[in-house]
Structure 1
Amino acid sequence: MAKTKRDQNKPPAAVRCAIYTRKSTEEGLEQEFNSLDAQRESAEAYISSQKSEGWVCLKTRYDDGGFSGGNTERPALKRLLEDVVAGEIDVIVVYKVDRLSRSLNDFTKVMEVFDENNVSFVSVTQQFNTTSSMGRLTLNILLSFAQFEREIISERTRDKMAAARRKGRYIGGTPVLGYDVDREKSRLTVNEPEAEQVREIYNIYLEKKSLLATLSEVDQRGWSTKVWTTKKGIERGGQPFDKSRLHKVLTNKTYLGKVTYQDEVHEGLHDAIVDPEIFAQVQQQLEQNRVVQGVPNRKRTPALLKGLLHCDPCGTAMVATYTQKGKKRYRYYVCHKAQKRSWQNCPSKSIPAAEIETYVVDQIREIGQSPKLIKQTIKAVRKKQNEIAQKFAAEQSQLKQSLTTANRELTRQLQRPQGPDIDRLAELQDQIQNAETALRTTLNEQARHQQLEIPDEQIIESLSQFDRLWSSMSIREQSRCLNLLIERVGYNGEDGTVAITLRPTGLEEFLQQTTTEEISV
């Protein structure tokens, strides 16, 4: 049907256009006319060229200055998506596609939001529109290249760090006792007083032929781990030695003037401070001790409180062990710190296993037999669950903020005209990896906690049957049961007190597994 004259003169419906701009670093944003302004000016000119189609530019600004395109944790982008969902935008205009995102996965998710709300996407410099299939194909190709470029930069950084290691250079990390760091030359320099201390530790070990005996001597001399100051002026290290830290000193190839990279060992640019022959003798003695100490490790007796019992005065776990007289075996729990460092300073030292296990089990049985205690336990558990939920939220917020900050700094380092600071890059990569791992862990833990929710009535009924269930369990099943119900058992040898802390979700997990009157191993 032919249009009437009135239809032909009718202006097109207004197409509301939002401009999104982004710059990875904050450098230059203080200028009167910066990169964000330049991007916006180009987008405004493009919108003006489409005036005949009814395009109008919204006054609201969506500018992200100093934010990486590798993730979607950007305030202006979040506001943009909120307005899209609210139906306030018809077209998103950007200067270039990688301004919106450099991640293909993230971009796909953003495009899903656009599609669900009938919003088109336009790049000024790359001339395409997502309303057409060809536009979508072009978009995916461009975004794939943007992501490829980002990954290549990361690979080059790793390769550069590996090459520096192979040339014997120091590329960051915690300095070791005996050396200081020359950051300008990316190498270690000998700290002679500390180096003499390291050599003396090797000599003491060869004399004592025992880590514990060496540790005792080192403690008496008041020696500690390396004290050093970060670029930010924060002092680190200076901790007392334990078996683990002492073992690291005695096995560190850095003292031979070497640099290690994964399984490779290369000549370093720094001087050796330990004689190779002495180093070899120490390794031989350590190997002999490992073999000799490994022989008596016969089949272990099951320990009900393994991983649960702690020495309160020392703040460390108590581990299961035994002594044998003739054919009779006597089981104990001993303080790990006392076993690892010194028996003299621990008031708890050890406690007979049967004694502490019987006490803990009797306390759990009492909960199941007393309606009043059951109600008090449920109330305490619910309160603890709320506290944990708040803790999860706080942890996740902090980790996300840490990731955003580290990613911004990483981008700034990679875009520096004089090249990135290799030490700082190593620190940032460690920070990002640790934060991402921690975030995944806390999200998984939160999901697991949220899945556990059982009515109070079912808890009361099931706990009243605890005695009957306990008697029918094997030792391993009983151990599993206690690990479900108990978070921690604290023992204080000074006054002989025992404190039992129940797991917040332990009752729910226990009940879920006992609905068939069985504890799975």
Structure 2
Amino acid sequence: MRPTIMNTTPSQKIVRCAIYTRKSVTEGLEQEFNTLDAQREAAEAFIASQRHEGWVALPEHYDDGGFTGGNTDRPALKALMADVEAGQVDCIVVYKVDRLSRSLLDFAMIMGALDKHDCSFVSVTQQFNTSHSMGRLTLNILLSFAQFEREIIAERTRDKIHSARRKGKWTGGPPILGYDVAPNGGRLLVNPEEAEQVRRIFEHYVESESLTATLRWANAEGLTTKSYTTRKGIRKEGRPFSKSSLHSLLTNVQYLGKVTLKTEVFDGEHEAIISHGLWKKAQARMEGRSVLERRPERNKTHALLRGLLYAEPDGVPMYHSFTTKNNRHYRYYVHRDVIKRADTPGTTRTVPAGDIEAFVLEKIKVIGQSEQLAAETIRQARLRRADQLSEWEADARQLRSAAARTEQEIHRLAGANDEEAVVKLASLQDRLAREQGRLAEVNRCIENINTETLDERALVRALSDFDGIWDALRGEERVKLMHLLIQRVGYNAQSGEVQIDFHPSGLNDFILRQAS
């Protein structure tokens, strides 16, 4: 039903009425006559009853279907307020007060804007008209109680979720790779195929000790994040991993069979995918930790290149091992595929540990005898530092964008009182905390790189007495020094070449230590 514009006397003012409708969810909006239509019909009937006052309904539709009333981030509301500011609306008519806003603060701001532009507000079913002082008072009282009730419901829902998490229960949100949601929605079930993918990702990261290398491998293997279908039947396809999503996977305690509540961790009802041993190794290698803070694993044999040596050209780790013959120990480094019985022709199989360790030590000593070699070492270190800085900055930009999107989603859901929205809000807040924590780590790494200064003469002076420094150290201390200075050693058995990559921050720290 659409009211017609009546003939009015010249002295009678026409009141242009804009009808605003809203529904929090999209369910049912596809029907030919839905709740938005019902709200509009009631508003049109009320406007028609005020024809004697010169009221007419504007033809424009201001309908927000699927938007919460807890905030003002709604397209139709924004369009309506823009028309109010343009002087095209004299009165806003709604079916109920909470259709316009469920937040007292937001409602007060809207009322201020309406007063500024001499626009009144009317609720059809509650008989409120803000052109009268009593209507304003009653309206504010009603909104105060409505907000109080909404906050109480939200608090109860959050308390229920927190209690469930303390008991190890899954409380909703998007499932992660490796798990499916049970048909009744009450718990997580292991997806065997995806669980194997997760274990492979953890194992590759532990072996490569590089988030970048693991990311390249995962994308080359065609691995993606979780694909799932929401309760509303919307299909969410997995995406190729990014550094941020890969880091989130490698630090998610759900894979240990745990659940989190803010900073607390509890045993979960779901089955673990990753063993404690593999988890511990992955966290020890987490990219973003300072090189100076990272300690080599317990190394009883004091193998200098353990965790540093890689076989070229395939770039896979070589592990330290030894054998005993005639009561004598023979140490060597062996290709990973030999240990896994997956050796292929042409790969670097083994290399005597003493020979390659002596070569690397000699290389370090030679640098301390030549400013030219020191300059070249620092030049290469600076190039690697520039590459690392570029990667960190790209990761920081991606994390800032992801955190901004999460904050926008949190703001959109703020104030919702239905349980599904509160559950999603809790999940989003956890996600934001992880993104902000990761961003803080990345920013610290960027700051550390930017404050490093390398000087070839200072390096020569620091390494000039390397023999004396080395002789004064014990086995475990020598391992620590080697890990401080060197990032990676590449050995090619076919050509006999050994490529040593030095840590820019490690070199800088060594220079500072010798200067002090």
Give the TM-score of the pair, scaled to structure 2: 0.49
| Higher relative contact order structure (alpha carbons within 8 Å, sequence separation ≥ 6) | 2
